Amino acid sequence: MSVATDLVSIDEIRAAAGRIERYAVRTPLLAPPLGRPMGTGWAGLYLKPEVLQPMGAFKIRGAVNAVAALDPEVRARGVVAHSSGNHAQAVAFAARAFGIAAHIVIPENAPTRKVEATRAYGATVDLVPVAERVTRAEQVVRETGMTMIPPFDHRDVIAGQGTIGLEIAEDTADLGEPIAAVLVPVSGGGLISGIAAALAALAPEVAVIGVEPELAGDAAESFRAGRRIAWRAEDTGRTCADGLRVPCVGELTWAHIRSYVRDIITVTEDEILAATRALALDERIVAEPSGATSVAAHLFHGAELPTGARVAVVSGGNIDPALLARLLCGS
């Protein structure tokens, strides 16, 4: 693969913005709250709340763009996806929006709420053992002629997620203070790849920093080693951040990470849950643990980050209600 020619361009990201504007919310950039006592940790942090998307997560951007970009005859045959939850919902949403069938393969350890939401969009859902999520989806493609919409390692998906970076670049230009870093949760790498590609073109002085759970730190380890390193699914499955359990970043996303990302750091389970709780109680933003990892990096690992104002991408809000109740009750 030629890295120089295979990276997603800013023109692709701008084209994606046009395709998705009818379906995805242009989420605001929320400024640090005024009047907050010093030492609470929120100073200098802007939030990009992708929890406001129709299906509660950023994944709608890439899924809609990928489905919209298909040839109409190909699209009419329907689409297939495999996902632990948010991409599943996003592809189901996109399929319903375009009036086509969707067949979604979901690992059996995915949160029930995400499974039910995917079915509610009208998709056919297969619940399979974690190790079979990809092979079962590929089998459906062979049997039906439907088109696979991968969760991250696909240039139309990356371009769709890159519209977040496009919006950040446009909105931070009017802040009156420079942004030092954008903090992005990392799973398969589609989100950080798209954001980094957009910012490399529009605001190259901004550092893009990935954030992962310690218990699913394959991308951080890969970044340190300079090569892709896969973790076992049973190891990444330990983290409460269910949307970040992918064992390895993709080949195309790795090319973007290697070219554009400044660093990838890890956060603990306690830090993730504390950030999830703080977002709800301090900022009135309901985030799932996966979406709160970026905030955990700011709150607990500031010394590892560039000095100055930061943007945290809060990537999703589809939290399990029982977990949210426990966090709000302080248990």
Cβ neighbours for 195, distance < 8 A, ≥ 6 positions apart = 161, 162, 164, 165, 168, 182, 184, 208, 313
pTM of the prediction? Answer: 0.94
pLDDT in tens, 17-73: 999 999 999 999 999 875 555 456 888 999 999 999 999 999 999 999 999 999 999
- The rounded Cα 289 to chain-centroid distance in angstroms is 12
Residue 8 contacts residue 66 (beta carbons within 8 Å)? no
Distance CA 279, CA 284 (A): 6
Beta bridge partner(s), residue 209 = 183, 263
Domains annotated on the chain, with CATH: 3-57+155-328 (3.40.50.1100), 59-148 (3.40.50.1100)
Alpha-helical (H) ranges within the chain are 3-6, 10-20, 59-69, 72-76, 86-98, 112-120, 133-144, 155-172, 190-202, 218-225, 233-236, 251-260, 269-282, 289-300, 321-328
Q: Averaged over 81-99, what is the pLDDT?
A: 94
Q: Averaged over 211-220, what is the pLDDT?
A: 98
Residue 190 contacts residue 86 (beta carbons within 8 Å)? no
pLDDT in tens, 160-211: 999 999 999 999 998 989 999 999 999 999 999 999 999 999 999 999 999 9
Catalytic site positions? 59, 315
Q: pLDDT at position 79, please?
A: 98
Beta bridge partner(s), residue 316 = 57
Q: Where do we find the tokens 């977040």?
A: 164
> In the predicted model, is pLDDT for residue 1 greater than 70?
no
Q: pLDDT at position 33, please?
A: 72
Q: pLDDT at position 2, please?
A: 38
Q: pLDDT at position 40, please?
A: 62
In three-state secondary structure terms, 225 is helix
